Amino acid sequence: MGILRTILALAVVVYHSYKIFGLRLCGGQVAVQAFYMISGFYMALVLNEKYTGKGFYKTFITSRFYRIFPVYWMVLLAAVLVSVIGLYGFGKPYYLARYLSGKDCLSWTTVLWFGLENIIIIGQDILYFLRLDELCQPHLVYNPLSFKHTGYQYLFVPQAWSISIEFVFYLLAPFLVTKKLRWQLLLVLLSLGLRYFFATRLYLSFDPWTYRFFPFELAFFMAGSLAYRFYKWLETRPPSPAIGYGALTVLLALIIFYDQVILPDTAKNYSFYALFLLALPFIFYSFKSNKADRYIGELSFSIYIIHHLVVNLLRKQFFGNPYMLDYYGYVVIGTTLLLAIGMQRWLVEPLDRYRHRLAKTNE
């Protein structure tokens, strides 16, 4: 599923930058929720087949920690350095801009809170439900994006809010994806039911409720776990690899030409999710031993975590020169890919070797 993961990461890059070949791809929300399903699938796989026995929980969480935090911290440091150098060298504060414009409305306590969130990641999604009022007091509200002064504006790696949701799932996954099928299905239905109730009765069907509220997103993680159960059933009746190749081709086409599908957004999104979920087991079965696919997939996290910095650095230059705007998306994607390959070679791979040795030591 490596190619699928990376094309979804690139869909987020396009969403945050500019269209390519005249296309916007599937957009941020669809890409992120598809990622949640893939995450649920993989966590069910490793927790049922790899991380078992005494001490498995500590080993699993430690492995997830080393997979995410060092890479994130490197990008966070880069964002801080770019902002400081930009401020004092070129008068462009980048991610420090909100701290400077809102300095008269920030207490040391609030700055400490925002700084801590930037470091620990967990809880960043909550900042998308936070606003600072006229008296500079923070409040959790149901419609924060309608206000000018919101908590998420103080994040140096803004897209990491989804990593926060992912990590909360990792903390809970050992207690969820190993349960019997009926309990997992019940969680999916409860999460979807909660989403439907809030959308239809409380009219909370807008960002950030659409894909940044963990109880609603749990359905996607658990649906991925159900797909893993289907995969285990497939192993007893091996399908032709061609089915997986065909399923991947269809999904890639849908992701790329998503805007060209003429359906109401809700119907289109959930039709895609259903097809995506059904295809996952076949794609994994066909590509699970493909080293090239695995390498391509490993780039997805680096692409996702570094791209916003690239977008931010290049935005003014391209939007300030309209004749160059059509090249913006291509340049962002090319730069992000080069940085991701470098990160994979000199940071991710050494960390992966270390966490795999750590996992073997704890077995």
Within a 10 A sphere around the Cβ of 62, how many other Cβ atoms? 14
Is the CB of residue 17 less than 8 Å from the CB of residue 311? yes
Looking at residue 90, what DSSP letter applies?
I
Yes or no: say if 275 and 254 are a contact pair by the CB < 8 Å rule. Answer: yes
Q: Which pLDDT band, with edges at 50, 70 and 90, does 104 fall under? A: confident
Percent of the chain, pLDDT > 90? 84
137-196 tens-digit pLDDT:
889 999 987 888 899 999 999 999 999 999 999 999 999 999 999 999 999 999 999 999
- Check if the beta carbon of residue 279 is closer than 8 Å to that of residue 251: yes
Q: 288-291 long-range contacts, Cβ below 8 Å, gap at least 24?
A: 290/2
pTM of the model as a whole: 0.94
- Mean of pLDDT values over 11-21: 95
Residue 1 confidence class, pLDDT cut points 50, 70, 90: confident
Q: Mean of the pLDDT values across residues 202-229?
A: 96
- Please state, in angstroms and rounded to a whole number, the distance separating the CA atoms of residues 249 and 283: 10
Radius of gyration for the alpha carbons in the chain, expressed in angstroms and rounded: 21
HSE on the CB side for 17, CA within 13 Å?
36
- 151 and 106 in contact (C-beta within 8 Å)? no
Bridging pattern class, strands 130-132 and 138-140: antiparallel
pLDDT of residue 231: 97
Q: Calculate mean pLDDT across residues 9-13.
A: 97
For residue 288, the SS3 value is coil
Residues in contact with 192: Cβ distance below 8 Å, sequence separation at least 6, in sequence order = 219
Tokens of 56: 């498995």
* Contact yes or no for 27/11 (Cβ under 8 A): yes
The DSSP code for 206 is S
Tell whether the model's pLDDT for residue 287 goes beyond 80.
yes
- DSSP 8-class letter at 55: T
Beta bridge pairs of residue 132: 138
Query: Average per-residue pLDDT in the chain?
Result: 94
Please determine, for residue 363, whether its predicted confidence score (pLDDT) is greater than 80: no
Nearest Cα residue to 299 out of 1, 78, 5: 5
Residues 348, 66: Cα–Cα separation, whole Å: 9
